[in-house]
Amino acid sequence: MNKEKVIFAFFIVLALTLNFGFFLGELENPEHHNVFEFFAALVVSIICTVLKLGDRTHLGALMLATSLVADLQLVVVALLWGYAEQISSVGMTPHMMASIISMAGGALLANVISVILLMVETILVRR
C-alpha cells in the first residue's frame, strides 16, 4: 500500500465530507451551518491543493483545477461571512447566509468532481 496515495485520497474525501457537512441544513438558517466546520473545510481544501501540486498527469491537472475552484469559492465564502459578521451594519441576514451556502455548494460540487477524478485515476491504474 502506498502511504502517499492513502494520505492524498484521505484529504480529498475529507474535504468533500467537511464541505458537505457544512452545506447540509436549512439554506437561510445560520444555526445549521457551523463556522468551525467551514474553517476546517477551507483548511483541508487548501491542504488538498498543496498535495495536488506535484502531479504532472492530465488527470492531476484536472484535479488541481477542481481544487483551485473549491478554494476560490471557499475563500469567497470566508470573505462574505467576515463581511456579514464584522463589517455589515445589519449583521448576518437570511439573504447573506443563502449566498454563503450557495457558494459553499459550488465548492462542494468541485469536491465531488475531484473525488470522481480520483476514482477514475484509481480505475486506470488498475488496468
Would you list the DSSP string of 54-73? T--SHHHHHHHHHHHHHHHH
Supply 126's cell numbers. 488498475
Confidence (pTM): 0.90
Supply 109's cell numbers. 460540487
With 0-12 / 13-18 / 19 or more C-beta atoms within 10 angstroms meaning exposed / middle / buried, residue 92 is middle
Domain edges within the chain: 3-126
Q: Could you report the per-residue pLDDT of 80-126, keeping only the tens digit for each?
A: 999 999 999 998 999 999 999 999 999 999 999 999 999 998 888 86
Q: Position 25: which residue type?
A: G
Q: Could you report the per-residue pLDDT of 4-59, keeping only the tens digit for each?
A: 889 999 999 999 999 999 999 888 888 889 999 999 999 999 999 999 898 888 88
Closest CA to 57 of 124, 115, 126: 124
Supply 108's cell numbers. 462542494
